[in-house]
Amino acid sequence: MTTSTGTSSSTSTVSATSGAPRKGGGRPALSLPVILLIVAAGLALVSLVRLISGADDITSVGQVAGALELAIPIGLAGLGGLWAERAGVVNIGLEGMMVLGTWFGAWAGYQWGPWTGVLLGIAGGAIGGLLHAVVTVSFGVNHIVSGVAINILAVGVTRYLSRFTFDTADGGSSKQSPRVDALPRITVPGLSDWMQDLQARHWFLVSDLAGLVGGLVTGLSLLTVLALLLIPGTWWLLWRTAFGLRLRSCGENPVAAESLGVNVYTYKYIAVAVSGALAGLGGAFLVIVSTGIYQEGQTGGRGYIGLAAMIFGNWMPGGMALGAGLFGFTDSLKLRGGAENVHAMLLLLAILLVLVVGWQLYKKKYLQAVISAAVAALLFVWYGLTDQVPSQFVDSAPYVTTLLVLALSAQRLRMPKADGLPYRKGQGK
């Protein structure tokens, strides 16, 4: 009887500890209706820009499918960062864990098939995560230093391994692997064709919605489906189970969690290992789904962009998915239509800034409103006087988007309270 009461008291106290984030500031978590409303408003605005600019490809089935494929590795890295940071461990090493995932995924994939490559890619990332956990949790090394070291180490290790594996294999070299067989892809018959027909009519909003749905039902890899399911799965596990409650308590107040019987080290190890595994899955996705081959340097900073997506999403799965989708969409613009599509985005950004001006005036932030209005005016002039943007700007568009999103959202973010703080076992006793 005493044990039951103590457990109940512990759970409620941990719940209060890990569920008290909003008193310290930050914005509330994005609920599903709010996310859907944001998506609908964004789609309507993009549709308006499409009609004005004539850039009909920005919401086509191919564009959406391409954006989804580019967003998945970023989203998996962001999801990995969310797991680690919710347990109080900053994981800058996601990029290196993705690199390990690409190499191990390719090495196993070309020899034993793509699904084996997926499993070994996950294992490779998890090894990097466990290394990060040992260094930061057990030895108390600064999380940023450890993460940077893992990024450097992963590049060196994979480069070394490639010299006596891929370099001696048929179709491989010291910087790339032989080709890996593709995973099966799913297309919903009938619905896919109907959506493509609707999208080709270029109607306001209807065609854009058809392009969005069509991109989700045309040529979808099974690994893409799995990755998409991991987002609600993570939300349910971390916010609807006792395991998730204890893990999040380690990122909010590990001393209080330990005093209530939570093995903080164990939960941190689990979280960081899962973080590395998700990043490794993102790396394997790049090899097996996106390109079909391993190439040195192919992660291209997606681990860092995944961290940006996680921060944009306020350390929540739904918001992180929105951020990953935004970065994936921006990245896909330069691949399809390039300068023309990015030029249309100048108009979109200008309109968004006009909306920001209205909001800032409502909040009586007059200086910020004047600055936003000036930037919006410059963008309108730039759009009106040009037909396309320089190729250098097209190439840098995803990274510029990353900086803009973080700059605009940083003031209303709230990370877990103990994120990145040193913790030694026994502090709660």
Per-residue pLDDT tens over the stretch 227-250: 999 999 999 999 999 999 999 999
Domain membership flag for residue 6 = no
370 with 255, same domain?
no
Residue 183 carries which DSSP code? P
Q: Exposed/middle/buried for 225, CB within 10 Å: 0-12, 13-18, 19+?
A: exposed
Per-residue pLDDT tens over the stretch 285-339: 999 999 999 999 999 899 999 998 998 888 999 889 988 998 888 888 777 766 7
Per-residue pLDDT tens over the stretch 168-216: 888 888 889 999 999 999 998 888 889 999 988 889 889 989 999 999 8
138 with 210, same domain?
yes
Domain membership flag for residue 176 = yes
Domain membership flag for residue 423 = no
310 with 346, same domain?
no
What average pLDDT is seen over the chain? 86
303 with 355, same domain?
no
Q: What is the pLDDT of residue 345?
A: 83
The total number of structural domains in the chain stands at: 2
Q: What is the pLDDT of residue 237?
A: 96
Q: Which of 336, 371, 391 is the last residue of a domain?
A: 336
Cα distance between residue 200 and residue 61, in whole Å: 9
Q: Is 360 helix (H, G, I), strand (E, B) or coil?
A: helix
Q: Which of 336, 356, 376 is the last residue of a domain?
A: 336
301 with 392, same domain?
no
Domain membership flag for residue 1 = no
Q: Which of 314, 336, 358 is the last residue of a domain?
A: 336
Per-residue pLDDT tens over the stretch 80-131: 999 999 999 999 999 999 999 999 999 999 999 999 999 999 999 999 999 9
Burial per residue of 242-263, b for 16 or more beta-carbon CB atoms within 10 angstroms, e otherwise: eebbbbbbbbbbbbbbbebebe
Looking at residue 245, which CATH number applies to its domain? 1.10.3470
Q: Is 240 helix (H, G, I), strand (E, B) or coil?
A: coil
394 with 314, same domain?
no
279 with 402, same domain?
no
Find the domain containing 237 and state its range. Answer: 60-336
Tokens of residue 11, six digits: 């759970």
206 with 226, same domain?
yes
More confident: 223 or 24: 223
Tokens of residue 369, six digits: 């409103």
368 with 312, same domain?
no
CB 70 within 8 A of CB 331: yes
Q: What is the pLDDT of residue 180?
A: 93
* Best-predicted range by mean pLDDT (140-149, 201-210, 335-344): 140-149
Domain membership flag for residue 412 = no
Domain membership flag for residue 175 = yes
Find the range with the poorest average confidence among 65-69, 141-145, 260-264, 425-429. 425-429
Q: What is the pLDDT of residue 280?
A: 97
The CA R_g of the chain, rounded to the nearest whole Å, is 23
pLDDT at 371 over 60: yes
